[in-house]
Amino acid sequence: MEKLRLKTERSEREKFYLSCALSKNLEKEERARFFGVEKLSCTLIYIRTEKRVLDLLEAISQFLVGEVDKAVAIDQNSILLFKFKDKTFSAYKSIKEFTELLKQFCYEETGVEFSALIGKSVDSVLNARESYSFILKAEKNCDNKLKDGGVYLAEEFSLNVLLNDMGYEKVAKIFPTLKAEKIQKLISNSELLKTSETFIKCNLNACETARVMFIHRNTLSYRLNKIESLTGLNLRIFSHSVVFSSILGFLKKEIEGESI
């Protein structure tokens, strides 16, 4: 029943916006003029929630001002918000601040948490497909960060997306010390795996990682050195940690695929 409502209750404006995100068609220019958005830059905000998407959609609609900005439910767990840079946008310092305030408002109104990926701004909703396409790529390569209730810029995961598109062989040429096959062995070592994932989740902050894991800094340092010796990647270096995360993600997907 809820799935049916998601499809039937979209307005003509919402249907038009969504069609721009899903496909590019120059014939839509006339429709853009009709809705008064042909000259407004637009930012797509991809929202993920685990429950009550309709309640969340209603709260978002209450937060939005005017008729131009719209939120459209994609499925029972995701919403795509089209935020235009009109006079209402000047009330916010940035699109991230807008999203954070929206998140706070929705939680206060419904008790529902959500995570968000903010796409790159495009000069017109007619080019929304480009932004939405990258958002979906970023979602697949964001190391499950959308499960932690955070708000992120999709471009933060640009390197992850690039590495995923490149594949093992090209990545190995850029990082000659990489021992990709060794990372697969690390997956079976629960202690090192948990340490690496927690260290990256804590933004490479050793003190925070040690606190979260209830271990001594020296123990953490020993494990990070062991991971470097095993894989050829020093997780203390940002670029190395991104490569490690990407390859770890590849391998986990392969393992999941084999188990199906």
Share of the chain above pLDDT 90, in %: 40
Torsion of CA 199, 203, 206, 212, to 10 degrees: -60
What's residue 254's pLDDT? 57
DSSP run (H or E) holding 49? none
**CATH number given to 2-154:** 3.30.70.270
What's residue 258's pLDDT? 47
Where do the CATH 3.30.70.270 domains begin and end in the chain? Answer: 2-154
Is the predicted pLDDT of residue 59 greater than 90, yes or no? yes
Pick the closest to residue 151 from 121, 109, 118, 108 (CA basis).
Answer: 118
Q: In the sheet where 42-48 sits, what is the strand order? A: 70-73, 78-84, 42-48, 115-118, 151-153
What's residue 225's pLDDT? 94
Sign of CA dihedral 168, 170, 172, 175: negative
Crossing angle, helix 190-201 and helix 206-213, to 10 degrees?
A: 130
Is the predicted pLDDT of residue 2 greater than 60, yes or no? no
What's residue 47's pLDDT? 95
| pLDDT tens-place string over residues 66-122 | 789 999 999 889 999 999 987 777 778 889 999 999 999 999 999 999 999 999 999
What's residue 4's pLDDT? 40
| 209 CB neighbour count, 10 Å cutoff | 22
Pick the closest to residue 74 from 90, 54, 99 (CA basis).
Answer: 54
What's residue 143's pLDDT? 62
| 248 CB neighbour count, 10 Å cutoff | 20
What's residue 190's pLDDT? 86
Where do the CATH 1.10.10.2840 domains begin and end in the chain? Answer: 167-259
| pLDDT tens-place string over residues 213-257 | 999 999 999 999 999 988 888 999 988 888 888 777 766 665 555
What's residue 259's pLDDT? 44
Crossing angle, helix 158-166 and helix 128-140, to 10 degrees?
A: 80
| pLDDT tens-place string over residues 164-221 | 776 666 666 666 666 656 676 777 788 999 999 899 889 899 999 999 999 999 999 9
Could you tell me the CATH superfamily of domain 167-259?
Answer: PucR C-terminal helix-turn-helix domain (1.10.10.2840)
Confidence of residue 39 (pLDDT cuts 50, 70, 90): confident
| Mean per-residue pLDDT, 25-44 | 84
pTM of the model: 0.69
